[in-house]
Amino acid sequence: MTKLLQLLRIALLALIRNKTRTFLTMLGMIIGVASVITMLAIGQGSRESIQSKVSGMGTNLIMISPASQMAGGVRMDNSSSQNITMDDVEAIEEKCPSVDKVSPEFRSSGQAIYENNNAPTTIYGGSQYYCDIKSLTLDEGRMFNASEVKKAAKVCVIGQTVITNLFGENASVVGKLIRFNSIPFRIIGTLESKGENSFGQDQDDVLIAPYTTVQKRLLAISHVQGIVCSATSTETSAAATEEINSAIRKTHRLKDDEESDFDVRSQEELISTFSSISNVLTILLGAIAGISLLVGGIGIMNIMFVSVTERTREIGLRMAIGAPESIIMAQFLSESTILSVLGGIIGILLGYAATAIITALFSWPTSITIWSVALSFGVCAVLGIFFGWSPARKAASLNPIEALRYE
């Protein structure tokens, strides 16, 4: 223990003698560690933000849509497909025990109009369970009921963006009459703000009405554009997806070797896909930042070789008075390790500061994890030893007589 402390003291004194050179050598490690921590924090923050936004659309959400089909050798847009019908909705309700709620979904773009104000928006048609399935919360008023769905009542609930565009911020709008294109709708409820989803779409720029109203009065179609469901729990989402696939294939009378003419997607699949992409990007960012760590390690090796050359006579003198090769080697390894470790500690502090500044200035989502700090610091320490080994070995292998004669 005493020898180790003495080696560290000698190493520190040697580094302090050349303060500027020591700092510049550590700077490579400082920038490298700070870069790795900051880049990984940006990647991790983006990953968590995407997961949060996708989950905000409903963690148990399952979406069924028509599959795009081939016609004359050309793949057609699935929006023109009429594969999905109310029979599929009924089949899911009756034959899928892992499904909690189900609703057909219709959508149409157009102008929402109130007096002299108008704004482009999208109207969605669904059942009385639509808001529950989509994890939408009412701010004021109520949701339409089963009776209003059956009668194709001209009522709706609206998002905060529509309220702002038509009435102004924080306006009380329940009970007021608006028009969507040429159809009048009575506002019976308003939605709490949800902001943008993971695709950058404003979730507050919506009107929601009974699906029968949108289907018959706005679109005048008999088929269903899509179906949204909620599984009984996150754990049963996979089972619900399988049950839905099976139920709709039977309804469509598809044979085992026939391709499905519909698509079933769950939020779990979306989260998994986005997480995979985010992980790749995070690794890529970390690898790019890690290059600066490698450069910092090369800088340490370069300076240690210079130090060995400058102190050749000192090394010869130590050997002449009995210092073994192991002590000479340990001395120079101590110096390189101190350079990398101190650089790593300062780099960690700088990484935290840089992450906080990025979040404050650009409002980017960031998240520093313990594993990213431990990884960058561990790599930094290993690089210090690795790149310090060759100069230390060179110092330990010097011939004492030749070293003493060195000018």
Question: Could you tell me the two tokens for 7?
Answer: 């080696």
- From residue 3, alpha-carbon distances to 319, 341, 342, 381, 398 in Å are 16, 20, 21, 21, 22
Provide the 3-class DSSP secondary structure of residue 121. Answer: strand
Provide, for the chain, the percentages of residues in helix, strand and coil under a 3-state DSSP scheme, each rounded to the nearest 5.
Answer: 55, 20, 25
Query: Alpha helices, DSSP H only, in 102-178?
Result: 130-133, 146-150, 160-167
Dist. CA 112–CA 118, nearest whole Å: 5
Residues contacting 215, CB < 8 A, separation 6+? 104, 106, 125, 221, 222, 224
Q: What φ, ψ does residue 226 adopt, rounded to 5°? A: -175, 170
Contact 62, 231 (CB under 8 A): yes
Please identify every stretch of the chain with a pLDDT value under 50, giving residue numbers as ranges: 71-75
Q: So what's the pLDDT on residue 72?
A: 46
Would you say the pTM of this structure is higher than 0.85? no
**What token pair was written down for 238?**
């996979």
Burial class (CB in 10 A: 0-12, 13-18, 19+), 371: exposed
The closest of 85, 22, 323 to 215, measured between CA atoms, is: 85
Q: Which of 126, 105, 95, 103 is nearest to 249 (CA)?
A: 95
* pLDDT, position 68: 67
Q: What per-residue confidence (pLDDT) applies to 283?
A: 81
Write out pLDDT tens, residues 335-344: 888 888 899 9
pLDDT at 311: 78
Q: Tell me the HSE value of 60 on the side-chain side, using a 13 A CA sphere.
A: 19
Residue 284: partners with Cβ closer than 8 Å, 6 or more residues away: none
